[in-house]
Structure 1
């Protein structure tokens, strides 16, 4: 796969970490980022930096990882987009952004007009998970295109799941993120209950993580809960956006989601209380406030399960 010429659009925290994995594997990678200076560390590692997404149009496979639906449309079919070059178009376009089904379908149609196969490939993880090699992908689109790029995706993380045709992967990712919020709110509630009843957060979470209810996620969030370090991996406003998308889909598909609806209100309340730049694990702080207790960092070394 090292002979495949790869393009990458979007080298923020996640994109940069993933491009670094491709470079470490010896891949030929050219990158575009709206703020070019943020791509410079990748240039120092061997990536070519281009001025416009259209400059990646002659690449075999182009990955996209941008913040929102409008950004995806801009870098693909907007002025200088990767699908607008007059003489070239990528063989496969792989989008790993979290965007709406409608935006994804629109880009798929644009890609088809240029003869480019399009894969929706949202991810589960963050830069720390990427560094640990634990990122996972849900992928939908033409199965033949997935089979072609799966060896590249395998370089980026622990694995990928082909979930079906069209935009199915978008709903899979939204369902994933809604569960992320529900589980975190629930974890905050039971942790506050345990602390108010007399145990430390560190002791309670150690017990939970070693039980059948423990998971990679509960272990990963335990250091934040114990030591109140809410350096952002995923912020509350982004989580609120995904709840909105998930509940919109639930209404459209007539699938009641009472627990998710309640969690969405609590996430919105946390945003209203000013938790906009912290990690969404700060749901713990709002739960403690409602329970009438003030939390303090416990200053305990806690294993996050990622070998960090």
Structure 2
């Protein structure tokens, strides 16, 4: 069955889920969505999506995507989605959860005759809206091929990483680098500014150099303007570091730089900055360096065309 004929469900229309579901709806996919706070799903009606009053109302869908915050959230929604009878044809989970939790979800789906694909994503809500997400997927190859057409609507790429829960390890490793790079970016930006270089000038140079990346570019506006509107909070980043360091212990991989970054992320929570964007690592680094930061009123390209 092609993606244009598949009946698709979506669970979770938060900061990430809403723009992802919107991309499916805009592509003409037959889409029904559910969210715990129904008002957050309502804007999707304007793009052609139906709103389901219950999770159980999505059981007859060919494919159901889930995008939730924690393993416990996934357990809860799957319990209602799978019920006591037949579940949907495929569940594609885009959340960032542990390998163990993902394996448990796979077993639960298998018990109801539902195929399961782990498909966590790289990017934030703004990146999702711009179509810039990268997905990494694991599970049976035939399941991946079954939904590959739908995945093309969600982002710029989807990588098949193999059987089982390998995609979870890839995503956790990715988020460890996210935290380490952000802390490093904060350190070198503070170093340059304390030496007399405007933040925007340093970041412009960095982004245009071989050391720049899509990530450093779209994080630059937050650093320049000190705009910490959350895209990803320190609480969520700490969760991923906990998962990553647990995997490192299980696999006997020393990760000294990652362990230190984890402590600095914890310090941001201790400073009461839990509800802001994790770019507040810049503030903490500046405070530790005796530097008072001020917003710079300079236009900065985030690389997303916005």
Q: Give the whole-Å Cα distance in 1 for the aligned partners of 2:247 and 2:29.
A: 38
Q: CA deviation at 1:46?
A: 2.1
2:215 is aligned, of 193, 217, 221, to 217
Residue 99 (structure 2) pairs with residue 97 (structure 1): no
Question: Does the 8 Å contact 1:96/1:120 carry over to 2?
Answer: yes
Counterparts in 2 of 1:1-308, with a 5 A limit? 1-77=3-79, 81-84=80-83, 86=85, 88-308=86-306
Query: 44-53 or 126-135, which moves further after superposition?
Result: 44-53
SS of the aligned residue for 1:164 comes to coil
Contact 2:26 2:48 in 1 (8 A): no
Between stretches 284-293 and 92-101, larger displacement belongs to 92-101
Contact in 2 for aligned 1:54/1:85 (Cα 8 Å): no
In 1: Cα distance, 2:169 partner to 2:54 partner? 30
Give per-residue Cα distances to partners, 1:242-281, cap 9 Å, x unaligned: 1111001100100000000011001101110111111101
Q: Secondary structure at the match of 2:136?
A: strand
Post-superposition shift, 1:85? 5.0
Q: TM-score scaled by structure 2? A: 0.97
Question: d(CA) in 2 for partners of 1:210 and 1:97?
Answer: 32
Instruction: Tell me, in whole angstroms, the C-alpha distance in 2 between the residues paired with 1:16 and 1:237.
Output: 20
Using the TM superposition, give the Cα deviation of residue 17 of structure 1 relative to its aligned residue in structure 2, in angstroms.
0.7
Partner SS, residue 44 of structure 2: helix
Residue 19 of structure 1, CA deviation: 1.1
- TM-score normalised per structure 1: 0.97
- Structure 2 gap ranges (5+): none
Segment of structure 1 superposing worse, 99-108 or 284-293 = 99-108
Maintained 8 Å contact 2:203/2:220? yes
Q: For the aligned residues, what is the CA RMSD?
A: 0.9
Q: SS at the partner of 1:119?
A: strand
User: Is the Cα contact below 8 Å between 1:92 and 1:116 reproduced in 2?
Assistant: yes
Post-superposition, which runs of at least 4 consecutive aligned residues in structure 1 deviate over 4 A? Answer: none
CA distance in 1, matches of 2:68, 2:228: 23
Q: Is the 8 A contact 1:63 1:95 kept in 2?
A: yes
User: Structure 1 residues 190-199 or 101-110, which shifts more?
Assistant: 101-110
Q: How many residues align?
A: 304
Cα distance in 2 for residues equivalent to 1:119 and 1:286: 39
Q: Distance in 1 between matches of 2:68 and 2:27?
A: 23
